[in-house]
Amino acid sequence: MSEQRQLRLVVNGEVRTGQVEPRKLLVDFLREDLGLTGTHVGCEHGICGACTILVNGEAARSCLMLAVQADGAELLTVEGLAREGRLHPLQDAFWEHHGLQCGFCTPGMLIAAYDLLQTNPTPTEEEIRAGLSAVLCRCTGYHGIVRAVQAAAECLRGGEE
């Protein structure tokens, strides 16, 4: 058995620690060691985007990172979107506007949308489609997802327009 490495990182605002083999993927560390199974594993090749999380504020595919590469980092996973028992406006909007069917892509889609709205609070439809293009959805045809992101953006801007 190979040597274990000690990790310390902040996940969804909480300090988490663990011991991992150097070859362990970040997504597997989140799911297996921290019990954060909201982040999904699809292709494990950086294609589908289901495993998207924020690492130090930037969207990253957690299947393409080793857990040891996240040592000392600050992560946001889908579990960190809801605050004080209330869903994030993006989560509410996905629910309201049928932004999901099977839900497999949804954690990655929500994090990609969160990342997009952080950098562009007033995206056009085209910008939303481009911003989410790194996450594949096999079910929805994307229309509901785009409507949900538009609605969440408006809600986050305080319902103006």
Can you give the binding site for ligand FES, defined by CB under 6 A?
A: 41-44, 46-51, 61, 63, 100-106, 137-140
Residue 93 neighbours by CB under 8 Å, 6+ apart: 99, 147, 148, 149, 151, 152, 155
Distance CA 88, CA 110 (A): 10
Give the shortest CB-106-to-ligand FES separation in angstroms: 6
Quote the tokens at residue 16: 């988490």
Distance of CA 85 to the CA centre of its chain: 18
Q: Compare residues 41 and 68 and give the one whose CB is closer to ligand FES.
A: 41
Q: Compare residues 14 and 34 and give the one whose CB is closer to ligand FES.
A: 34
What is the radius of gyration, based on Cα positions, of the chain? 16
Give the shortest CB-1-to-ligand FES separation in angstroms: 26
Give the shortest CB-72-to-ligand FES separation in angstroms: 22
Q: Compare residues 47 and 87 and give the one whose CB is closer to ligand FES.
A: 47
